[in-house]
């Protein structure tokens, strides 16, 4: 008897890769995570995440362009916005994006899950072109339709335009999601551009000097799965001890790398601070309860000025 093969080619005489199951289970996992969160919807600009959510693909040339976007609302179906010819391709050849009743049709997909639209293309469009505002209107319309306009919105990656000139910009648990040093640099430059001269940036990041050996932080509801002597840019898994647990994937960057990215963006007087429990938290749990966190904090605060 021949051995069951799992080739990349479909045949009528053997069940091989079940792509329908692949699409269904991807979406089911994504929906389950959304339901366990406080979010009303997920908005994706990342090429791989869009593929995971919508099972669409337009070629690897678009991986870093931020040209397309997709949305999954709580209780809703995935919607992808793509430029004209790509949107038409999805309408013709991706029947799972037709969310209307009855047999799938290109027109049904055009009205529901496969729409024409374009994002800001990493700032290539002039702000006066109104592309960012158009994206916001399209997404907001879907959020209102599904009753989640007032709920938090999860975004995987955002191209920071110049929104204004602010006295203070804050970013809590953001910079350690940078996938490379170049990505970290772009994030810092985007923040710098939105501050007025003399403005301050305040951020909380994963502590570069965290000791994986301990003390540990399970009693605070979180565990850090990080290698001892972790190399620069390696993955760190943060486990939030809910039921079921939530795993968050970040990157390990050294103190020098954070400071270098901030300085290169133009920031000065870069200062690291230790986080402290609030007086209310200390009074409720006692000072001794916080000693492990204070000896081996998993997060640090940085402030710097423009």
| Global confidence as pTM | 0.56
From CA 89, how far away is CA 250, in angstroms rounded? Answer: 34
Percentages helix, strand, coil for the chain (3-state, rounded to 5) are: 40, 20, 40
Question: In the chain, what are the domain boundaries?
Answer: 1-159, 160-306
- pLDDT tens for the 306 residues of the chain, in order: 456 666 677 888 888 888 999 999 999 999 999 999 989 999 999 889 999 999 999 988 887 788 899 999 999 999 999 988 899 999 999 999 999 999 999 999 999 999 999 998 876 777 778 888 999 999 999 999 999 999 999 998 766 666 778 999 999 998 998 888 988 998 899 899 889 999 999 999 999 999 988 888 899 999 988 888 889 999 898 888 888 888 888 899 999 999 999 999 999 999 999 999 999 999 999 999 999 999 999 999 999 999
How far out from the chain centre does Cα 61 lie?
21
The fold adopted by the segment(s) 1-159 is: Creatine Amidinohydrolase; Chain A, domain 1 (3.40.350)
How far out from the chain centre does Cα 140 lie?
18
CATH superfamily of the domain spanning 160-306? Vaccinia Virus protein VP39 (3.40.50.150)
- Pair of tokens at residue 94: 């991706």
CA within 13 Å, CB half, 234: 11
> Which distant-in-sequence residues (6+ apart) come within 8 Å of 28 by Cβ?
none
Q: Decide: helix, strand or coil at residue 83.
A: coil
């Amino acid at each position: 008897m021949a051995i069951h093969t799992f080739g990349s080619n479909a045949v009528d005489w053997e069940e091989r890769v079940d792509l329908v199951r692949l699409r269904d289970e991807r979406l089911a996992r994504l929906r389950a995570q959304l339901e366990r969160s406080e979010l009303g919807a997920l908005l994706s600009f990342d090429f791989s995440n869009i593929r995971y959510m919508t099972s669409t693909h337009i070629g690897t040339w678009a991986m870093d362009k931020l040209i397309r976007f997709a949305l999954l609302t709580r209780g809703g179906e995935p919607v992808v916005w793509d430029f004209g010819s790509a949107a038409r391709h999805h309408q013709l050849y991706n029947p799972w994006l037709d969310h209307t009743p009855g047999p799938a049709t290109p027109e049904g997909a055009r009205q529901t899950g496969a729409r024409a639209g374009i994002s800001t293309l990493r700032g290539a469009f002039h702000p006066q072109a109104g592309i960012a505002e158009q994206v916001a209107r399209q997404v907001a319309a879907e959020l209102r339709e599904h009753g989640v306009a007032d709920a938090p919105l999860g975004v995987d990656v955002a191209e920071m335009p110049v929104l204004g000139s602010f006295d203070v910009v804050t970013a809590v648990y953001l910079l350690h999601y940078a996938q490379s040093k170049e990505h970290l640099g772009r994030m810092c430059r985007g923040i710098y551009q939105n501050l007025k001269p003399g403005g301050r940036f305040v951020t909380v990041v994963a502590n570069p000097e965290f000791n994986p050996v301990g003390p540990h932080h399970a009693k605070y509801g979180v565990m850090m799965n990080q290698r001892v002597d972790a190399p620069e840019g390696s993955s760190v898994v943060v486990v939030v001890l809910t039921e079921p647990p939530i795993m968050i994937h970040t990157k390990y960057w050294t103190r020098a790398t954070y400071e270098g990215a901030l300085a290169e963006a133009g920031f000065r007087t870069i200062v690291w601070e230790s986080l402290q429990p609030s007086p209310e938290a200390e009074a409720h749990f006692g000072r001794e309860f916080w000693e492990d966190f204070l000896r081996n904090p998993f997060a640090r605060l940085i402030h710097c000025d423009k």
